């Protein structure tokens, strides 16, 4: 496989790229100055704030979560928090970016398969790491499941916050098309939307909403996770075959 450090990070025309100016405005809400201030936010305070936000979003959902409760949970002053984040949405984008970076740390060294024969084995390895990551980090999984209720669309600021992992997955799909094992009559984005929808349906079917609630034993969780991976792999091969 090709190491992730050598992967082409470019984005196809159907995947909207975020240019420097829009990224500055998007991430900070006030342009360059806000980004500089976020960089100066001490790691310990940033960690406390993000952890408090993750707890709040998990307990109350993305819409009903309270910015004031997040600040109270963090133990930080309102003035210092508002200095870095204008509102709940700007903090949520940072939380999603953080989840995305940690997710990439867990999966991106899988790299890209170099041959047709190795392609689906590579996808399986990626899927194993993906599932293991979310089982180990259920609070992250719940936030992304809530995000997944929104259509995958880079006009949506929350999806733009998860852009880097989606680019990584786009590279995996594109490599399958190059090797002739993934259909090329659909765009990379269309295939990603399709597989995201499959994952959501199978999560409901196999986990019945209990996937990341702690209601399942470790053994049962492992059994259902295996069924989930096998079903996604099988459906992927069937639907994406040229």
**Domains detected in the chain:** 4-16+111-240 (no CATH), 20-96 (1.10.10.60)
- Reported as a single tens digit per residue, the pLDDT across 36-60 is 444 455 677 888 899 999 999 999 9
The dihedral sign for the CA sequence 35, 96, 60, 217: negative
- Tell me what pLDDT residue 213 has: 59
Q: Are 23 and 17 in contact (CB under 8 A)?
A: no
pTM above 0.85, yes or no: no
Least confident stretch, 49-53, 112-116, 195-199: 195-199
Q: What is the 3-state secondary structure (H, E, C) of 120-140?
A: HHHHHHHHHHHHHHHHHCHHH
- Reported as a single tens digit per residue, the pLDDT across 144-195 is 888 877 776 767 888 888 888 989 999 999 999 999 999 999 999 999 989 8
Measure the CA–CA gap between 217 and 183, rounded to whole angstroms: 39
Measure the CA–CA gap between 7 and 171, rounded to whole angstroms: 8
Measure the CA–CA gap between 180 and 115, rounded to whole angstroms: 10
């Amino acid at each position: 496989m090709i190491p992730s450090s050598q992967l082409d990070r470019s984005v196809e025309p159907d995947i909207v790229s975020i240019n420097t100016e829009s990224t500055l405005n998007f991430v900070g809400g006030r342009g360059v100055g806000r980004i500089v201030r976020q960089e100066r936010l001490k790691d310990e305070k940033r960690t406390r704030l993000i952890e408090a936000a993750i707890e709040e979003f998990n307990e109350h959902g993305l819409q009903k979560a309270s910015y004031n409760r997040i600040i109270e949970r963090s133990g930080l002053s309102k003035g210092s928090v508002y200095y870095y984040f204008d509102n709940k949405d700007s903090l949520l984008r940072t939380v999603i970016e953080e989840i995305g970076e940690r997710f990439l740390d867990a999966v991106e060294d899988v790299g890209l398969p170099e041959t047709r024969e190795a392609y689906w084995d590579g996808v399986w390895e990626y899927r194993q790491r993906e599932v293991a990551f979310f089982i180990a980090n259920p609070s992250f999984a719940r936030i992304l499941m809530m995000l997944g209720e929104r259509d995958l669309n880079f006009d949506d600021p929350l999806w733009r916050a998860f852009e880097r992992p989606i680019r990584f997955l786009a590279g995996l799909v594109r490599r399958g098309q190059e090797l002739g094992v993934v259909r090329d009559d659909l765009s990379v984005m269309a295939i990603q939307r399709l597989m995201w929808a499959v994952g959501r349906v199978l999560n409901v079917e196999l986990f019945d909403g209990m996937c990341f609630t702690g209601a399942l034993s470790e053994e049962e969780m492992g059994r259902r996770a295996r069924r989930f991976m096998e079903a996604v792999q099988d459906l992927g091969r069937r639907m994406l075959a040229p």
